[in-house]
Amino acid sequence: MLKQIEGSQAVADAVALCRPNVISAYPITPQTHIVEDLATIVAEGRLDTEFLNVESEFAAASVVLGASAAGARTYTATTSQGLLLMTEVLYCIAGMRLPIVLTCANRAISAPLSIWNDHQDSMSIRDSGWIQIHAENNQEAADLHFQAYKIAEKTFLPVMVCMDGFILTHAFEPVDIPDQDKVDDFLPAFRPRATVDPMYPRGLGLFADPRFYMEMRYIIHRAMEKSENTIKEVHEEFNKAFGRKSGGLLKTYKLENADVVIVAMGSVVGTIKDTIDLLEEKGKSVGLLQICSFRPFPRKQVYQLLKDKENIVVVEKALSLGRGGILGSDVRWSFPRTEQTDRKISNFVAGLGGRDITTDDLAAMVERVEKEHVEFDFLGLNRDLILERDL
Amino acid sequence: MMKTAVEFDKKNLLASGHRACGGCAQALACRMVLDAAGKNTIACVATGCLEVFSGPYPDPSWRIPFLHSLFENSAAVAAGVEVAYRALKKAPVNVLAMGGDGSTADIGFQCISGMFERGHNVLYVCYDNEAYMNTGVQRSSFTPFGAKTTTTPAGNRFHKKDLPQLAVVHGVPYVATATVDDYHDLQRKVKTALSIHGPKYLHVYAPCPLGWGHAGDMSIAISRLAKETCLFPVYEIKDGKLVSVVKIPVKKPVEEYLKVQGRFRHLFKKGVPTTEVELIQEIANQNIERFNL
């Protein structure tokens, strides 16, 4: 049913339709509406689940770890500092192959304190073994949760659904919330692989000495790589069952004959598509490659789609301090070494801490990369605010 | 007929052959706790000596389900297991969370406080060996006054954190302390705890030969001396009321306890003022008064 609802409500409705057994969370802006809405759903008896308000995000992640190890389908949501506080547990969850689903309402990281959107939070744990999929809009944010549980429970890898804080979580859009029957058909009941059960005593989370550790990490790495196929399959199954395209590894827009290709992820792709249309009216041919699955990074597909493109520009809302762009590095890495050096791949960091990224900004960026290759730069930086002595 | 060691061991839920040091009271205490809890038990164990000596891949020593994730979250993990069992409507099971004094009193205290406050049906067992033993004997907030550790080479200047009391003020319905020299008392307390619905806290005193500087065969004797010198009061608190205390009819001076351990040896060196030992005696005197030992 099509409903005009807030992004957080759409996610809460979607999560409830996935029938998690245990939900545990700690409030943090801009994730709060998601867990508030879920708490209401549970309080009204629309979902039979154990909803646990805990004392920190660290505890929330630990509770779902324990619950998942006991065989429950689990859910938590957080952002920014909360995600960082969870970090130790998140690595552990991935290492223990627990198929937990987490919504990250992407937000900047302190310091300075900022509650507004960028991708520095989820980027900081990109190497943890969590699948990370990014939503473009609220329909996709909702749909990705149905897919996330299916992907997680097929691969035994945890899945983080990333949606831009405020821009999506607090935006009202028409979203189709499917019927319970349809979701039940798509998402079968969770069948855990190994649980703590006195009937079958086993140890979970044993320590590994140097004879075993590397193999265990290798196996997770391979599982992450192989999960590309699962993400694709689940995406196709979803398209078939629900009649719309949400998620997958990548998406494109007017890519085919584009002279300039913008690579991006998250809600900014909406603005990028508008920019592309505006530039098209002026006779420019610009296309988009949207990354949905950031981890695993679909290197081969990225290469296939970009190998004939002369002018590529990656715009991202994250930054590796002292190094530069992160998505930009991954896109460059997608090209075989020999081609990489000749390739004109520009890289811009934009929108940190909730700075708006406008069509004007993006049009100016395209104009600039038409003239020169920009190894790395910031988009929309107000240099008047920066004193020479601080540099 | 006498049972052979192997036959006897088959009954133990923490099997022999693990990697604990000789005389490790934590290993002994854990075996006693598990055997009292029985097979229908899940143990959520914090990183530390216990986890390391009993849980190496691929040969853990546990005959019950064992779940380890991190150093500071065993109480939250146990809470997760407990709610999952409730949510999935599985047959009831004893859920234990366990840790050493570091993971209990210091780094894991927040998770324990949360588990207590939410009233999970979990028994938290702290094996207190009064320092970070797994990392090489560093001071924790359970390290007693005067004790030498690798990070308090001149002796600890702080007093032991009173966690049982903190559990009581959380409204935990059952709080008890126990020692490894009294097998029946310890096991009775585990069984009593598990008969009560809600959070429970059991504080087990666990001498560490390596960290305390005593022979492995002295663990039981030192455990007894801690009681007899009134430095470790053994008691039970139900619903906030002191319901049982192990009385010490003949109270020994604290020197008898201190002199047999390397970690207190510096107190008896020439030139060290006797006030240090007097201060420790004062701790014992306060326990005598407080618990009417």
**In sequence order, what are the residues at sequence separation of 6 or more whose Cβ sits closer than 8 angstroms to the Cβ of residue A85?**
A56, A57, A58
| CATH 3.40.50.970 residue ranges for chain A | 2-242
For residue A373, how many other CB atoms are within 10 A of its CB? 14
Q: Which of A48, A63, A90 is best to mutate for the B interface (most B CBs within 10 A)?
A: A63
Cα separation of A68 and A51, whole Å? 14
Domains of chain B and CATH, by start: 5-291 (3.40.50.970)
**Chain B touched by A71 (CB under 8 Å):** yes
What residue has token string 């990697």?
B19
DSSP A192-219: -SS---TTS--EES-B--TTTHHHHHHH
**Chain B touched by A23 (CB under 8 Å):** no
Average pLDDT over residues B246-264: 98
Cβ-Cβ contacts under 8 Å, B55 against chain A: 203, 205-207
Q: For residue range B221-247, what is the model confidence (pLDDT) as tens digits? A: 999 999 999 999 999 999 999 999 999
Q: For residue range A266-284, what is the model confidence (pLDDT) as tens digits? A: 999 999 999 999 999 999 9
Residue B182 backbone zone (phi > 0: left; psi -120 to 50: alpha; other: beta): beta
Give the pair of three-digit tokens for residue B207: 């001498």
Q: What's the CATH class of domain A2-242?
A: alpha beta
**Chain A touched by B38 (CB under 8 Å):** no
Q: What is the pLDDT along chain A (391 residues), one digit of tens a residue?
A: 899 999 999 999 999 999 999 999 999 999 999 999 999 999 999 999 999 999 999 999 999 999 999 999 999 999 999 999 999 999 999 999 999 999 999 999 999 999 999 999 999 999 999 999 999 999 999 999 999 999 999 999 999 999 999 999 999 999 999 999 999 999 999 999 999 999 999 999 999 999 999 999 999 999 999 999 999 999 999 999 999 999 999 999 999 999 999 999 999 999 999 999 999 999 999 999 999 999 999 999 999 999 999 999 999 999 999 999 999 999 999 998 877 666 789 999 999 999 999 999 999 999 999 999 999 999 999 999 999 998 8
Q: For residue range B50-59, what is the model confidence (pLDDT) as tens digits? A: 999 999 999 8
Give the pair of three-digit tokens for residue A230: 């699962």
**Chain A / chain B CB contacts < 8 angstroms:** 159
**In sequence order, what are the residues at sequence separation of 6 or more whose Cβ sits closer than 8 angstroms to the Cβ of residue A162?**
A104, A106, A119, A122, A132, A133, A134, A135, A266, A294
For residue A365, how many other CB atoms are within 10 A of its CB? 24
What residue has token string 């008898």?
B256
Q: B101: exposed, middle or buried (C-beta count within 10 Å: 0-12, 13-18, 19+)?
A: buried
CB contact under 8 A, A69 and B80: yes
Helices A57-69 and A80-95 pack at an angle, to 10 degrees, of 30
Q: For residue range B139-189, what is the model confidence (pLDDT) as tens digits? A: 999 999 999 999 999 999 999 999 999 999 999 999 999 999 999 999 999
Report the amino acid identity of residue A326. Answer: I
Cα separation of B14 and B43, whole Å? 11
What ipTM was estimated for this complex? 0.95
Cβ-Cβ contacts under 8 Å, A128 against chain B: none
Quote the minimal CA–CA distance from B70 to chain A in Å.
7
Give the pair of three-digit tokens for residue A125: 């744990």
Average pLDDT over residues B14-39: 96
| CATH 3.40.50.920 residue ranges for chain A | 250-390
pTM: 0.96
Helix, coil or strand: residue A258: coil
CATH code of A250-390, in short, is 3.40.50.920
- The closest of A99, A87, A95, A97 to A60, measured between CA atoms, is A87
Cβ-Cβ contacts under 8 Å, B199 against chain A: none
Task: Tell me how many degrees the CA angle A31-A20-A30 measures, rounded to the nearest 5.
Answer: 0
Give the pair of three-digit tokens for residue A193: 């692989």
Q: Give, as one character, the DSSP assignment of residue B48.
A: T
Cβ-Cβ contacts under 8 Å, A49 against chain B: 87
Quote the pLDDT of residue B271: 84
Report the percentage of chain B scoring pLDDT > 70: 97
Cβ-Cβ contacts under 8 Å, A199 against chain B: none
For residue A137, how many other CB atoms are within 10 A of its CB? 22
Give the pair of three-digit tokens for residue A15: 């999560």
Q: Give, as one character, the DSSP assignment of residue B106.
A: I
Quote the pLDDT of residue B270: 87
- In sequence order, the β-bridge partners of residue A347 are A314
Q: Give me the phi and psi of A216, to 5 degrees please.
A: -65, -40
Whether the predicted pLDDT of B8 surpasses 90: no
Give the pair of three-digit tokens for residue B81: 């297991």
- The closest of B24, B90, B27, B91 to B62, measured between CA atoms, is B27
DSSP B266-281: GGGSTTS-THHHHHHH
Q: Give, as one character, the DSSP assignment of residue A111.
A: S
Among candidates B69, B82, B90 on the partner chain, residue whose Cβ is nearest the Cβ of A96: B69
CB contact under 8 A, A63 and B80: yes
CB contact under 8 A, A64 and B80: yes
CB contact under 8 A, B55 and A207: yes
Distances (CA, A) of B278 to A78, A136, B268, B274, B275: 52, 70, 12, 6, 5
What residue has token string 């997680």?
A152
**Would you say B262 and B214 are in contact if contact means Cβ atoms under 8 Å apart?**
yes
Report the amino acid identity of residue A19. Answer: R
Quote the pLDDT of residue B7: 59
Task: Tell me how many degrees the CA angle A267-A268-A270 measures, rounded to the nearest 5.
Answer: 80
Quote the pLDDT of residue A340: 64
Cα separation of B115 and A105, whole Å? 26
- In sequence order, the β-bridge partners of residue A174 are A4
Cα separation of A254 and A150, whole Å? 30
**Would you say A164 and A117 are in contact if contact means Cβ atoms under 8 Å apart?**
yes
Cα separation of A347 and A373, whole Å? 9
**Would you say A230 and A253 are in contact if contact means Cβ atoms under 8 Å apart?**
no
Interface of A with B in 81-140 (CB under 8 A): 88-89, 92, 96
Q: B270: exposed, middle or buried (C-beta count within 10 Å: 0-12, 13-18, 19+)?
A: exposed
**In sequence order, what are the residues at sequence separation of 6 or more whose Cβ sits closer than 8 angstroms to the Cβ of residue A104?**
A77, A78, A79, A83, A121, A122, A160, A161, A162, A163
Whether the predicted pLDDT of B202 surpasses 90: yes
Quote the pLDDT of residue B166: 97
Quote the pLDDT of residue B124: 98
Cβ-Cβ contacts under 8 Å, B69 against chain A: 62, 65-66, 89, 92, 96, 205
Cα separation of B29 and B201, whole Å? 15
Cis amide bond preceding B76, omega within 30? no
